[in-house]
């Protein structure tokens, strides 16, 4: 299988996802927008993974490539690719399908509880997961659900945490891919955001809960294994 990753910043890396791809011996390519990389042809990959980043989907003036990226994501969905979006990636999926993306009432940064919806019980990806997850969050924006989306998860601070479309397009607002090194990189780059707010944890509090990384990685690996079956 050929997997292509869209990466918006060096400090928002694919984390445990890369280890999974290497272990499976799949072909991995990437577009690093911060290095001005070009997008691949639509027939050059089978699975698209869209990572996070501090920009908003509406920041086309600052990041002109966002416009072509959204069109590329839309084409990938139309061409029946497997698509996984994480944080900004989930927002880009929503935007590419015509849904609104906008600042959430609260920023959500740190280890937060996410509850699965009743709809998740019937979904092959989420049916084996616990009803409540404690996952790593880092976002200020949220999105409306696109047409045809099944709502899978929600939190106290942000209702739309995950959705799936046609069982092939999965959007996650949270970061289960995070590793110890990528967590530290995110904390260093986004230190100015760690203010005393209702759903924002300071760096010390976040690092004190890094024992949650393995359980988050287990969630991500479970989802990757199940998405992989769509290809065979």
**Residues designated as active site:** 87, 175, 177
CA 144, CA 30: separation in Å to the nearest integer? 28
Torsion of CA 34, 38, 40, 41, to 10 degrees: 150
CA 198, CA 62: separation in Å to the nearest integer? 29
Give the C-alpha distances (Å, rounded to integers) separating 230 from 124, 166, 169, 225: 11, 11, 11, 9
Residue identified by tokens 């399908």 is 97
List of domains in the chain: 2-228 (3.40.50.880)
* Mean pLDDT, all residues of the chain: 96
CA 228, CA 232: separation in Å to the nearest integer? 7
Q: Please tell me the pTM assigned to this model.
A: 0.97
* Local structure of 189: helix, strand or coil: helix
User: Shortest CA distance to 109 belongs to which of 33, 52, 58?
Assistant: 52
Cα angle: 31, vertex 103, 175; to 5 degrees: 50
* Local structure of 91: helix, strand or coil: helix
Query: For the segment 62-115, what is each residue's pLDDT rounded down to a tens digit?
Result: 999 999 999 999 999 999 999 999 999 999 999 999 999 999 999 999 999 999
Longest dimension (CA), the chain: 47
Sign of the alpha-carbon torsion through 81, 229, 137, 36: negative
Query: For the segment 145-200, what is each residue's pLDDT rounded down to a tens digit?
Result: 999 999 999 999 999 999 999 999 999 999 999 999 999 999 999 999 999 899 99
């Amino acid at each position: 299988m050929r997997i292509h990753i869209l990466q918006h910043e060096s400090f928002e890396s694919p984390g445990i996802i890369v280890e999974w791809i290497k272990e499976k011996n799949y072909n991995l390519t990437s577009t690093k927008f911060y290095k001005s990389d070009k997008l691949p042809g639509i027939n050059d990959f089978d699975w698209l993974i869209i990572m996070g980043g501090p920009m908003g989907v509406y920041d086309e003036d600052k990041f002109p490539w966002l416009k072509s990226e959204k069109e590329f994501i839309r084409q990938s969905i139309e061409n029946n690719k497997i698509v996984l979006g994480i944080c900004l990636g989930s927002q880009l999926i929503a935007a590419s399908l015509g849904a609104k993306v906008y600042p959430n009432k609260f920023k959500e940064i740190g280890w937060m509880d996410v509850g699965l919806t009743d709809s998740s019980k019937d979904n092959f990806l989420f049916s084996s997961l616990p009803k409540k997850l404690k996952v790593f969050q880092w976002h200020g924006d949220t999105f409306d659900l696109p047409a045809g989306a099944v709502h899978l998860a929600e939190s106290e601070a942000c209702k739309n945490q995950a959705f799936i479309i046609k069982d092939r397009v999965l959007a996650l607002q949270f970061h289960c891919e995070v590793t110890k090194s990528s967590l530290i990189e995110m904390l260093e780059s986004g230190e100015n955001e760690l203010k005393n707010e209702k759903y924002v944890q300071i760096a010390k509090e976040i690092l004190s809960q890094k024992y949650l990384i393995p359980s988050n990685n287990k969630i991500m690996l479970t989802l990757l294994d199940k998405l992989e079956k769509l290809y065979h």
